[in-house]
C-alpha cells in the first residue's frame, strides 16, 4: 500500500512523522511544493490549481490514499480534490484538528494560529462550531511564519519576537491553541515557551484517520498488512532540495534519502 502526503513544503513532515509512527505496513510518497510556497498568501483558485496537479501526480504514482497535510490547501481545495478524484480517499487536516481541540478545551474558547488564508476562510471556526455551536474560536493569520520555517527557523534573529507578536494578539481567555498550519509543529518548542495553554497539533488524529481508512481498504480488498522492516518514503520537492533536506532532517531526526525533483511541464 502507498500513502500520498503533500504540503506546500516542509510542513507536512509533521503529519508524515505521525503517520510513520502509527503505520508500518505502507510506503509513502511525500510531495513538498516549496517552489510555490507559501500557499497562505495565494488565491483560492491558484491553490486549487496547484493541488489538482499534485493529486494527479500522486495518483499517477499509484497511491491508495491522499493526505492533504496542509491547512491552507485543506481550506482552499479539499472539496475540489474530492470532487475531481473519487478513486481514493482524500483526508484533510482541519476536521481532525477541530475534533481534538473541542476534546481538549475545557472552556471552549479556542485560539488558532494559521496562515492568512486559513484564518480568512474561517474553516476552523466552522468545523469547531459544527461539533460544539457554543464554542468560541479566535483565528490569527501569521503571514511570515511559514516562509521563515521553510527557510530554516534558526536562520532568522527576529523569529521569537515575531512569534510573540502573533501569539499576543490572541485573547488571554483561550485555554487551547491549535497549530493550524502544519509548519508550526516544527517550532513547537518556541511556541510552548511563549504561551501557557493546551497546545493541539492535528497531526496525530490525521494519522489515526489514515490508519482507519487503510484498514477499511485492506478489509475490502483482502490486502494482507505486513510490517515493513523500514517504511520507505520517496520525497518529491519542487523547490530547493538542499534546504528541504536540511530543515526536514533536523525535524525528523534522520537522514533524508530518496529526495527527487519532480518533472514539471
- Residues near ligand DGL, by CB under 6 A: 7-8, 11, 37-40, 70-72, 115, 118, 146, 181-183
Write the DSSP assignment of 24-91 as a string of letters: -S-EEEEEE-GGG--GGGS-HHHHHHHHHHHHHHHHHTT-SEEEE--HHHHHHHHHHHHHH--SS-EE
Residue 213: all three cell numbers together:
481508512
One of 51, 142, 146, 181 is an active-site residue; which one?
A: 181
33 or 213: CB nearest ligand DGL: 33
Q: At residue 191, what are phi and psi to the nearest 5 degrees?
A: -65, -45
Least distance (Å) from ligand DGL to the CB of residue 186?
Answer: 10
One of 51, 70, 142, 146 is an active-site residue; which one?
A: 70
SS3 6: strand
Least distance (Å) from ligand DGL to the CB of residue 26?
Answer: 22
Least distance (Å) from ligand DGL to the CB of residue 50?
Answer: 10
Distance CA 123, CA 171 (A): 19
108 or 138: CB nearest ligand DGL: 138
Least distance (Å) from ligand DGL to the CB of residue 56?
Answer: 20
Q: What share of the chain is helix, strand, coil (3-state, %, to 5)?
A: 50, 15, 35
16 or 108: CB nearest ligand DGL: 16
Distance CA 127, CA 80 (A): 18
Task: Count CB atoms within 10 A of the CB of residue 72.
Answer: 35
108 or 201: CB nearest ligand DGL: 201
Active site residue 146: no
Active site residue 70: yes
Residue 223: all three cell numbers together:
490486502
For the annotated catalytic residues, the residue numbers are 70, 181
Amino acid at each position: 500500500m502507498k500513502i500520498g502526503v503533500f504540503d506546500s513544503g516542509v510542513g507536512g513532515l509533521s503529519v508524515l512523522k505521525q503517520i510513520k509512527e502509527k503505520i508500518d505496513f505502507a510506503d509513502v510518497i511525500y510531495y513538498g511544493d516549496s517552489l510555490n510556497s507559501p500557499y497562505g498568501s495565494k488565491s483560492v483558485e491558484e491553490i486549487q490549481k496547484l493541488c489538482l496537479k499534485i493529486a494527479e501526480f500522486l495518483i499517477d504514482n499509484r497511491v491508495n490514499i491522499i493526505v492533504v497535510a496542509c491547512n491552507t490547501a485543506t481550506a482552499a481545495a479539499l472539496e475540489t480534490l474530492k470532487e475531481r478524484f473519487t478513486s481514493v480517499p482524500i483526508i484533510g487536516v482541519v476536521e481532525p484538528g477541530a475534533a481534538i481541540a473541542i476534546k481538549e478545551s475545557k472552556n471552549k474558547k479556542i485560539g488558532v494560529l494559521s496562515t492568512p488564508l486559513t484564518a480568512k476562510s474561517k474553516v476552523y471556526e466552522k468545523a469547531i462550531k459544527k461539533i460544539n455551536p457554543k464554542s468560541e474560536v479566535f483565528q490569527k493569520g501569521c503571514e511570515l511564519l511559514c516562509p521563515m520555517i521553510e527557510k530554516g527557523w534558526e536562520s532568522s534573529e527576529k523569529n521569537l519576537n515575531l512569534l510573540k507578536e502573533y501569539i499576543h494578539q490572541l485573547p488571554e481567555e483561550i485555554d487551547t491553541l491549535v497549530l493550524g498550519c502544519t509548519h508550526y509543529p516544527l517550532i513547537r518548542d518556541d511556541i510552548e515557551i511563549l504561551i501557557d495553554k493546551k497546545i493541539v497539533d492535528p497531526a496525530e488524529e490525521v494519522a489515526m484517520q489514515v490508519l482507519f481508512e487503510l484498514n477499511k481498504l485492506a478489509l475490502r480488498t483482502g490486502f494482507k498488512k505486513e510490517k515493513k522492516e523500514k517504511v520507505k518514503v520517496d520525497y518529491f520537492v519542487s523547490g530547493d532540495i538542499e534546504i528541504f533536506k536540511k530543515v526536514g532532517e533536523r525535524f525528523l531526526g534522520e537522514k533524508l534519502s530518496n529526495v527527487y525533483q519532480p518533472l514539471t511541464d
